[in-house]
Amino acid sequence: MEAERRLSLRIREGDCAVLKRGDVFKAVPVLRQRKIIFEKQGFYLDNAIGHVYGTTFEVTSDGNLQPKRQVEETTTETKEAGTDNRNIVDDGKSQKLTHDDIKALKDKGIKGQEIVQQLIENSTTFRDKTEFAQDKYIKKKKKKYEAVITIVKPSTRILSTMYYAREPGKIIHLRYDTLAQMLTLGNVRAGNKMVVMETCAGLVLGAVMERMGGYGSIIQMYPGGGPVRAATSCFGFPKPFFNNLHEFPLSKVNSLLCGTLSVETLPSESEDTALTEEEMNGLVDEKQSSVQGTEEESSAETAMEINQTEEQETIDINAEDAEFKENKEKENKENVREKQRKQWERRKKLTETAALLREKNADGLLVASKFHPTPLLLSLLEFVAPSRPFVVYCQYKEPLLECYTKLRERGGVVNLKLSETWLRSYQVLPDRSHPKLTMSGGGGYLLSGITVVLDKGKSDSSNLEALKMEEPSSKRCKVQDLCC
């Protein structure tokens, strides 16, 4: 166990690692002889293999990485600085080096550190700048010319920051602090049985998996042809973490709730692979109805498509598995058998997942999707045990307002809370501390609450509570009196 942990500290071939330069992250697979482009620089990761995660590397001119020890601070000899900028004129001629000079320096393969030094020496105004301005100048130039890259181990912190900065659209603008709230409000921890419905490329799923550490089970509800787990795979979870990860198609939720879910209809698990692509492009409006609706259109055409893709998959796998098997006919037979086996396995897994859901004893529900939250909540909450938390994320406030109202009408929930977090970063430097110039405008909204036993047919009491909420406080006392 300990040895394994020590081993996992090192960068290994096939790992998923995260490159970091300044505040910029990029997740990459560690492969030999594969060129990586990061922050306008191309390099190979070969040399990084075997080093410990957290190592900082310098990119050499031939595109290799060289580990860099602690940055020896070039403490500039007895600093000379001005006190203010009254005599600094922007004539555009303060830098004596031309673009071509700088390019020549770079082409010669001179270290970034030296280029920065040259820039400083050739700046006529540098010495007149205030100490603070000098600092700022150096920092800016270092950022541009000193190519140091740190390779770090992926985590929710890193991946959620990375996704929010690089591809916010793919995670429906779920800011990392909002994701942090979800995990806490949802009481996500080892041993839980969680239901997760997300269209955040698998980032929320990964965050939940990290917090559960392989203990307990997760049921991922997915729209379309299958769950998207691009971000999940960036976490590099050990295999056992996937043993208790289940998935269930959203389109079967209603039939499961009505008790009409039959194993026969299961093989066509994914009724609309075609649709997923559309969904990717955000054409989801009509899909909302299908969440509520009861239509069971496992059409033949789409089933065909699935078979095709399935075949593709099996071929790929076999090609890897059994390269040496020259006999094509045999391979074909194997393919058919493989396909049947896969289908059978899929069916079995779905039956298992359906059984897990039917127990209706999940320990929590997390929703972060591009769909309207109301129908999702009204259905998926059925699977959650009483006295368990649920959290819904939405990029917009309005759908959550409706969801709030509908949940009140339904009853079976308490402590409903609609919230949003603001995140502010600070620059902290001696005598120069202040909030950063820009902050994120929005990281989405959360609706959270706790389930309670739903007593059917007596919804008036929950209406009463709803009333309580909406009345001004002066009236609230009266309503409370009523319920005593």
Partner 1 sequence: MSFVEYGDTIKDGDTAIVFLGHESMFPVKVQQGGVTQTKYGVIRHSTDLIGKKYGSKVTCSKGGWVFILHPTPELWTVNLPHRTQILYSTDISVITMMLELKPGSIVCESGTGSGSLSHALIRTVAPTGHLYTVEFHQQRAEKAKEEFREHGVEHLVTVTNQDVCKNGFGVSDIADAVFLDIPSPWEAIGHAKSALKAEGGRICSFSPCIEQVQRTCLAMEEYGFTEINTLEILLRVYNVRTISLQIPDLGKAAEDNSSTGFDSSNPSNQGSPGTNLQQGTVQFKSGVPLKEMVGHTGYLTFATKSLF
Residues 325-364 that bind partner 1 (CB under 8 A): 361, 363
Residue 231 one-letter amino acid: A
- DSSP lists the bridge partners of residue 432 as none
CA 212 to mean position of chain CA atoms:
16
Q: Record the tokens describing residue 241, joined without a space.
A: 């973490």
103 lies in the binding site for partner 1 (CB under 8 A) = no
The residue from 405, 406, 410, 459 that contacts partner 1 (CB under 8 A) is 405
Name the minimum Å distance from CB 122 to partner 1: 30
Are 408 and 465 a contacting pair, CB within 8 Å? yes
Residue 417 lies near partner 1 (rule: CB under 8 A): yes
Please count the residues of the chain: 484
As given in the structure block, the two tokens for residue 159 are 């991946």
Q: Is 65 in the site for partner 1 (CB under 8 A)?
A: no
Query: Judged by CB under 8 A, does residue 189 bind partner 1?
Result: yes
Q: Per-residue contact track with partner 1, 35 to 54, x per CB under 8 A? A: -----------------x-x
Select the residue interacting with partner 1 from 223, 389, 444, 449 (CB under 8 A): 389
Task: Show the binding pattern over residues 3-42: x = contacts partner 1 (CB under 8 A), - = does not.
Answer: ------x---------------------------------
Quick check: 142 and 224 in contact, CB under 8 A?
no
Among 4, 7, 62, 70, binds partner 1 (CB under 8 A): 70
3-state secondary structure of 301: helix
Instruction: Give the burial class of 464: count Cβ atoms within 10 A of its Cβ; 0-12 exposed, 13-18 middle, 19 or more buried.
Output: middle
Q: Among residues 305, 335, 401, 410, which is the contact residue for partner 1, using CB under 8 A? A: 401
Q: Binding segment for partner 1 among 94-102, 222-230, 247-255, 467-475 (CB under 8 A)? A: 467-475
Residue 378: which of 292, 455, 452 has the closest Cα?
A: 292
66 lies in the binding site for partner 1 (CB under 8 A):
no
Question: Nearest distance from residue 130's CB to partner 1, in Å?
Answer: 19
Residue 232 binds partner 1, judged by CB under 8 A: no
Q: Does 477 bind partner 1 (CB under 8 A)?
A: no
Beta bridge partners of 374: none
**In the range 128-157, which residues lie near partner 1 by CB under 8 A?**
155-157
- In the set 61, 299, 387, 463, which binds partner 1 (CB under 8 A)? 387
C-alpha closest to that of 157 among 198, 196, 197, 207? 207
3-class secondary structure, 457: coil
Residues 193-212 that bind partner 1 (CB under 8 A): 210-212
Q: Is 385 in the site for partner 1 (CB under 8 A)?
A: yes
Exactly one of 419, 463, 477, 478 binds partner 1 (CB under 8 A); that residue is: 419
The answer to whether residue 280 forms part of the interface with partner 1 (CB under 8 A) is no
Task: Examine residue 453 and tell whether it contacts partner 1 (CB under 8 A).
Answer: yes
Which is closer to partner 1, CB of 261 or CB of 403?
A: 403
473's tokens: 């406080």
Which 424-443 residues touch partner 1, going by CB under 8 A? 424-426, 428, 430, 433
* Residue 97 touches partner 1, criterion: CB under 8 A: no
Q: How far apart are CA 249 and CA 226, in angstroms?
A: 7
The kind and range of the H/E element at 451 are: strand 445-451
Between 61 and 184, CB nearer to partner 1: 184
Q: Considering the rule CB under 8 A, would residue 463 count as an interface residue with partner 1?
A: no
Tokens of 337: 């058998």
Q: Is 163 in the site for partner 1 (CB under 8 A)?
A: no
* Pick from 138, 133, 104: nearest CA to 119: 138
Instruction: Reduce the DSSP state of residue 446 to 3 states and report it.
Output: strand
How many angstroms separate the first and last alpha carbons of the chain? Answer: 58
230 binds partner 1 (CB under 8 A): no
Farthest-apart Cα atoms in the chain, separation: 85
Looking at the DSSP assignment, which residues form a beta bridge with residue 281?
none
